[in-house]
Structure 1
């Protein structure tokens, strides 16, 4: 078997994108944070007194879209509401995630990844059918998200969770656990939604580079999502 979770991150070759920030004053640290992505960052000053800022994303000559500047800030500084395990949220980050899909990031903290992960989980919850595969690295991480996965399992989703280690808590009804010891599951954070409708497919995968610091990407490409789920089935479900 030549496929691996590491290959999904190392082999990504997405075209470089240009992010232009429009604001009356440049955000003090936004350019530094975006510099850790596979993007070019530009700033275009708006006149004083202008409406709230926004960002646009282009790939070559193609305009991909725009989002309010606050959406970018929310990704880097997630609010408590986005991370509320009792209430899956409804798409505050989704437009930004779609504009930056298949774009490599080099340094994300756990809370930022959790905010992006919650968007994928919420999409799966709203759609309600298909397969949801989530890698937690360690059983303690799954325990912290138990209430979310109890709720997801009450839908018609086929929910699979993965981690390196031993699950000593009570099983989560409707959730299938896959474990290993000293393998790739302990090094990668991932979530993949493979629905019955390809247009809803999405996934995130990130490798832990330093403690609680991750590099990776998310994608809305159905073929890429199917490839990830096929690998998980072969390596950790059927293998």
Structure 2
């Protein structure tokens, strides 16, 4: 396994973290049940009282004075319990949480809920799905962890022109899937990281990546980034890992 001070993915995760953001909820009372969701992100949380029905409230994300976007209270149930869904399920329940993840891109997070982390990764996979071409890279702690996601990647690769590359420690032999290349991480070089990176098929506006590291058992610290320079370095690094894998 790569020594702590030699981890390119850790350095890229740190580079991907941008200026702080503020999340402000607006409504008659603070939406305290959203705090367990929002507290996972390193953002400044605020509330401003508005004389409206609770269901008419909303939250706003800003970077400094810059307005980035909003999510309506009608979608708050999805924020409280996000559906991992499938990458192509970008409507209804799956859309609101992915929208929040996008608004908070560049904001570090810490998550100990695997389902929520999968839902977070779906924002990157959804961008790949909507683009329909290019290269998508995914790292797993082990190839057996890929087992539950095989149908997802069969659909992604089988119905688009995406080239998918999967990495994981070799504790299971995945089935052959057209369009999906599997690389055995014999050295454990990426096994502490959960990375989903999309090269945007060369379009800087579509490039995105999730870079997360298991800092404690079951707990990942990470960030979602749309910074094209960071995404390019992540995909170049993973290309190098793939080239050296058995």
TM-score by length of 2: 0.85
Following TM superposition, by how much is the alpha carbon of 1:144 offset from its aligned partner in structure 2, in angstroms? 0.4
In the alignment, structure 1 segments of 5+ residues that lack a partner are: none
Counterpart Cα distance in 1 of 2:17 and 2:120 = 21
- Counterpart pick for 1:40 among 44, 51, 57: 44
Counterpart Cα distance in 1 of 2:78 and 2:219 = 18
Following TM superposition, by how much is the alpha carbon of 1:29 offset from its aligned partner in structure 2, in angstroms? 3.4
How many residues are treated as equivalent by the alignment?
A: 234
Counterpart Cα distance in 1 of 2:231 and 2:68 = 21
Query: Using a 3 Å threshold, how does the CA distance of structure 1 residues 72 and 3 change in structure 2: closer, same or farther?
Result: farther
Query: Using a 3 Å threshold, how does the CA distance of structure 1 residues 124 and 60 change in structure 2: closer, same or farther?
Result: same
Structure 1 partner of 2:224: 218
TM-score by length of 1: 0.87
In the alignment, structure 2 segments of 5+ residues that lack a partner are: none
Q: How does 1:86-101 map to 2 (within 5 A)?
A: 88-90=88-90, 92=95, 93-101=97-105
Structure 2 partner of 1:15: 19
Structure 2 partner of 1:170: 175
Counterpart Cα distance in 1 of 2:79 and 2:184 = 30
Counterpart Cα distance in 2 of 1:63 and 1:102 = 15
Q: What secondary structure is seen at the aligned counterpart in 2 of 1:118?
A: helix
Q: How does 1:1-239 map to 2 (within 5 A)?
A: 4-49=8-53, 51-71=55-75, 73-79=77-83, 82-83=84-85, 88-90=88-90, 92=95, 93-154=97-158, 155-196=160-201, 197-234=203-240, 236-239=241-244
Counterpart Cα distance in 2 of 1:125 and 1:13 = 25
